[in-house]
Structure 1
Amino acid sequence: MSYEEKRTWIYAVVAIAAPAVYVTYILGKVASTPVTNIDYVGAMLIAIGGAILASIVAGMFIGISSSKEAGRKDERDQEIGHRGFILGFFVFSILMVAPLVMAMTEVPHFWIANTIYLAFALTAFLYSVLKIVAYRRGF
């Protein structure tokens, strides 16, 4: 498994784990608090910061364990990254229509922010899945 593929696996795991922890926390609050009164900002920032930190730390461990390959990309890695980026762009663009419409119709900020976070999380996961499939099966 190449260094870039290992990094993609890390990205996929973090793209699922961080939002899952965040959603679990928020759902725990829903039972006792109306959704529009839930203080989601701090929890969302912690989830995003934790995801970034986890990706960095895991990437460092992968880099240390495969120091010969670290930072090296061949043409295949570049092509897979490029195609993954294009798919991610289109997925994110489509998903962002929902929060845009929500903002135009003055939906409470809780729903808009969580829809945007969901769009980021889904895009990151789909981007990773596409890259992993490309590494395993090719285009």
Structure 2
Amino acid sequence: MDMADDEPLYTTREERQVWSQLACMVVSAAAYTAWVLPEVARHPVAGIHWVVPLFWATLAGLVCTVVVAVVLEIVVVVRRGAEAKSAVTVDVRDREIGRRGVRLATPVMGTGLAAVLVLAARGADDFWIGNVAFLTGLVAAVAESILKIRLYRRGF
């Protein structure tokens, strides 16, 4: 890929979506963690009402991801004009980066869900089972996003 030094290097739509997903997931998980840790310090885990806050944190992360991705696309179209409309297609590089990200996230999810099964088999409190499942999804998604960003920025 030969590019002149002064030619701008634009992010693809796929890369912008990865960035928005990563930022929103981290913020929503941090908000949930900021709520749940003081509860764990004050109460026994069996008495903590964690399901609704976890649901709202997850939903907020998803909605945030969509909203931020849409806002970023609007900003790009306004700034680049007709040039942005021609850069909408997903190319081979985007697909390969997506595949590599999934290849990393899948074993992370599998390992975390195995931990969830072990907790369930041992009769652990629902709090621990639910939070390990949440943490598993978060770690897998963050690892996938970081790998994708690295591949977009530095190549294969």
TM-score norm. by structure 1 comes to: 0.94
Q: Which residue of 2 is the match for residue 16 of structure 1?
A: 26
- The CA deviation at 1:65 is 1.9
| C-alpha separation in 1, matches of 2:142 and 2:32 | 16
Residue matched to 1:111: 128
Cα distance between partner residues in 1 of 2:24 and 2:119: 27
| Length, aligned pairs only | 139
Return the structure number with greater relative CO, CA threshold 8 A, min gap 6. 1
Point out the structure with max Rg over C-alpha.
2
Unpaired runs of 5+ in structure 1?
none
Q: Which amino acid aligns with 1:135?
A: Y
Select the residue among 92, 99, 102 that pairs with 1:82: 99
Residue aligned with 1:107, SS: coil
Instruction: Indicate which of 120, 131, 136 corresponds to 2:148.
Output: 131
Task: Determine the C-alpha separation between the residues in 1 that align with 2:20 and 2:66.
Answer: 10
Residue 46 of structure 1 is aligned with which of 45, 53, 56? 56
Once superposed, which parts of structure 1, at least 4 consecutive aligned residues long, lie more than 6 Å away? none
TM-score by length of 2: 0.84
RMSD after superposition: 1.3
Q: Distance in 1 between matches of 2:102 and 2:154?
A: 18
**Counterpart residue identity of residue 49, structure 1:** L
SS of alignment partner, residue 72 of structure 1: coil
- Note if 1:94 corresponds to 2:108: no
Identity of aligned residues (%): 32
Deviates more, 1:48-57 or 1:63-72: 63-72
Change (3 A) 1:28 1:71: farther
How many Å apart are 1:12 and its aligned residue? 1.1
Corresponding residue for residue 6 of structure 2: none
- Runs of 5+ consecutive residues of structure 2 not aligned to the other structure: 1-10, 78-83
Deviations 1:63-108 (A, max 9, x none): 2122325742111011101111121112111121111100011101
